[in-house]
Structure 1
Amino acid sequence: MQSFRLDDFLAGWIGGASSVVVGHPLDTVKTRLQAGQGYRNTLHCVLSIYRKETVSGFFKGMSFPLASITVYNSVVFGFFSNAQRLISKYRYGDGRHPCGLLDLTAASMLTGLVSVVLGAPVDLVKIRLQMQTQTLLAENLHLAGTVPSGSDVPLRSVGVPVQGGYRGPIHCISSILQAEGVQGLYRGAGAMVLRDVPGYTLYFIPYTIFCDLLRPDATSTPNPCAIWLAGGLAGSISWVTATPADVVKSRMQADARLHRKYKGIVHCIVHSYRTEGAQVFFRGASVNAIRGFPMSATMFLTYELSLQFFRSF
């Protein structure tokens, strides 16, 4: 058996496309909750998006993730599977040898690091597109308007498009490059490392454990229902535990270029805690738990079925 296989990458590409379509509406809700301050709760966020932007608002910014996250998941799943085989070959002399918990942890953490290289720009553009209909808050611009009577009107009551109105993913990328350079595409990458290294560990390991528990015996392969359930549970666990780092990442990436609020990861954490309390780091956790299940269930099921199809020839 070869230690390196390309079919893992192709199966990851197919799985990634299916998961984007399933999970993007809730991803939009999650991003708005984490990066904005105009929503009371998840239901209020959902209703606000629907009333102001109709159903299309939930799919805002999906074209870029659909094109890019497919590649991203292809790299993630392809790298993880091949890393397992390489580790097994190095440690046990056989790439087919089952990986132990330590082997899976190492492969997962390496996958988390690699994912940031592609994932940081993808997430940045996706979030900027999702957030551009939000209003700039008074604390972002330190301004207030006045009416003829002279009474102050808080800026939070005035809708101003964020980010200057990107026309699409390409325009967003070119605008960021012109204004901030290549490093601008990696804003929030440090927070993404804090999210993805432990996040992928709590993604792949629970999936493997649940699959083992749900299979009829040690020699059989999990059936599609078991794969779907194991993938969904792993996704919910991973996303809920990654929520605090995800909040920081989303806030830094959504930070308007017109006026930078956060100087870095530590400043974002401290500022968010002082202004909104510890609960801010769990904003969107319920959405992450709900969204993580169908997305990951679809991802793993499509990935495994695609692999079975490719290897049946």
Structure 2
Amino acid sequence: LQTRLQAGQGCGNTLSCLLTVYRNESVSGFFKGMSFPLASVAVYSSVVFGVFSNTQRLLGQLRHGDAAHPPALADMLLASTLAGLVSVGIGTPVDLVKIRLQMQTQPYAAAGTRAKSTAPGFSVYRGPVHCFRTVLQKEGLTGIYRGAGAMLLRDVPGYCLYFIPYTLLCDWSAPQGGMSPAPSAVWLAGGAAGAISWAVATPMDVVKSRIQADGVYLNKYRGTLDCILQSYQSEGFKVFFRGITVNTVRGFPVSSATFLGYELSLKAMKRGQSETSP
């Protein structure tokens, strides 16, 4: 729904988009393009969380001589920024394949644009591997990383407003004496952080989705700034908040589960290390 709302045609609002997708493509339409993200989400999340936590530990070691020292706000900001930068390198190709697969059956309706020879409404790609290989062959590495600039502008502030609110909320809810917060507090803090992050990131998410979907049939946008200007001129300021409801509603449960799984995994690994150490 998010991609169709942001880059598709004929989706006036979330409910209208949901009904349109179901009517035209049945239940399977809601899961188009998800195999590639599902196959890579474990690697993606582990790398991003690893960069964030290890950067904080490194800064604590360098500044205070103790890797476990509580991070300052500046340390969290730098660690979040690095996590956002790394996420672009991993996530851009994944998002591109997902969006191309989701948008390849959408009609185009734009005056003065150069359409490709493939007729809209018919599948261009047979699956994620074929999509990746086709884009790489026809557009090169720059095609695979199409929309990376917009994703950078989305993920760097997005991850700052993902990890920092989560850390502050966990610190606020943690009991006295340096104990870890309860699982319910972790779940709530993670969900709130996810909703905040996605709400702020939605404008650049719209731009990224439009740039990456642009290559299926049209060559409309020349870059991030051109996409911003064209979108604003044709649809006004409200266009940058398309899909914000889906993003924030989805962001809460996904992020709460992600952070809870992360914290419980860390506890389990620490417990296992303490049991095996002499």
Residue 41 (structure 2) pairs with residue 69 (structure 1)? yes
How far residue 309 of structure 1 moved from its aligned partner, in angstroms, is: 1.4
Residue by residue over 1:40-69, the C-alpha shift from the partner in whole angstroms, topping out at 9 and shown as x without a partner, is 101111111122222221111111101112
Query: Does 1:32 find its partner at 2:9?
Result: no
Question: Of 169, 172, 184, which aligns to 2:143?
Answer: 184
Tell me, yes or no, if structure 1 residue 197 matches structure 2 residue 156. yes
Task: Provide the rounded CA distance (Å) in 2 between the counterparts of 1:252 and 1:218.
Answer: 49
What is the CA distance between 1:219 and its match in structure 2? 1.3
Q: Equivalences for 1:141-220 in 2 at 5 Å?
A: 160-161=120-121, 164-220=123-179
- Hey, what's the Cα distance between the residues in 1 that align with 2:263 and 2:102? 31
Moved more, 121-130 or 254-263: 254-263
Distance in 1, matches of 2:84 and 2:107, equals: 33
Conservation of the 8 A alpha-carbon contact between 2:114 and 2:218:
no
| Cα distance in 2, alignment partners of residues 126 and 266 from structure 1 | 23
TM-score (norm 2): 0.93
Indicate yes or no: 2:231 matched with 1:276.
no
Q: Distance in 2 between matches of 1:90 and 1:140?
A: 56
Q: 1:238 aligns with which of 191, 197, 201?
A: 197
- C-alpha deviation, 1:311, in angstroms: 1.7
Identity across the alignment (%):
60
Instruction: Tell me what 1:50 maps to.
Output: 22
Equivalent residue, structure 2, for 1:153? none
| Paired letter, 1:239 | W
Go from structure 1 to structure 2 and tell me whether the alpha carbon gap of 1:263 and 1:303 turns closer, same or farther (over 3 Å shift).
same
Q: Give the alignment of 1:241-280 within 5 angstroms.
A: 241-280=200-239
The C-alpha deviation readout for 1:172-204, integer Å capped at 9, x for no partner, is: 011001110011100000011100111100000
- Partners of 1:276 and 1:258 in 2: how far apart? 21
Q: Secondary structure at the match of 2:33?
A: coil
Deviation of 1:217 (Å): 2.1
Q: Is the 8 A contact 1:140 1:259 kept in 2?
A: no
* In 1: Cα distance, 2:237 partner to 2:120 partner: 28
CA contact (8 A) 2:103 2:216 kept: no
- Asked which structure has the greater RCO (Cα within 8 Å, sep 6+), the reply is 1
DSSP-derived class of the 2:247 partner: helix
**Are 1:113 and 1:193, in contact at CA under 8 Å, matched by a contact in 2?**
yes
Q: Which amino acid aligns with 2:60?
A: S
Conserved in 1, the CA contact under 8 Å of 2:100 and 2:216? no
Number of equivalences: 269
Range 229-238 or range 285-294, more displaced: 285-294
- Specify every segment of 5 or more residues in structure 1 that has no aligned partner in the other structure, as ranges: 1-28, 144-158
2:75 to 103, 112, 128: 103
C-alpha distance in structure 2 between counterparts of 1:127 and 1:257, whole Å: 9
Match of 1:24 in 2: none
Structure 1 CA distance for aligned equivalents of residues 66 and 172 of structure 2: 24
- Whether 1:80 and 2:40 are equivalent positions in the alignment is no
Amino acid at match of 2:135: I
Distance 2:103 2:177 in 1: 47
- How far does the alpha carbon of each residue in 1:238-280 deviate from its partner, in whole angstroms, 9 at most, with x for none? 0000111111111001103443000011110000000000000
User: Matches of 2:72 and 2:28 in 1, distance apart?
Assistant: 45
Q: 1:218 to 1:268 in 2, by over 3 A?
A: farther
Greater Cα offset, 40-49 or 132-141:
132-141
- Partner of 1:291, secondary structure, is helix
Asked if 1:129 corresponds to 2:101, the answer is yes
1:59 aligns with 2:31: yes
Using the TM superposition, name which of 47-56 and 233-242 deviates more: 47-56
TM-score (norm 1): 0.83
8 Å Cα contact 1:212/1:218 also seen in 2: no
- Once the 2 structures are TM-superposed, how far is the Cα of residue 140 of structure 1 from its aligned partner? 7.0
Aligned to 1:292: 251
Task: Provide the rounded CA distance (Å) in 1 between the counterparts of 2:18 and 2:270.
Answer: 42
Pick closer, same or farther for the CA change 1:165–1:109 going to 2, 3 Å: same
**Cα RMSD between the aligned structures?**
1.6
Deviation for aligned residue 1:134? 1.4
Asked if the contact 2:196–2:248 (Cα under 8 Å) also holds between the matched residues in 1, the reply is: yes
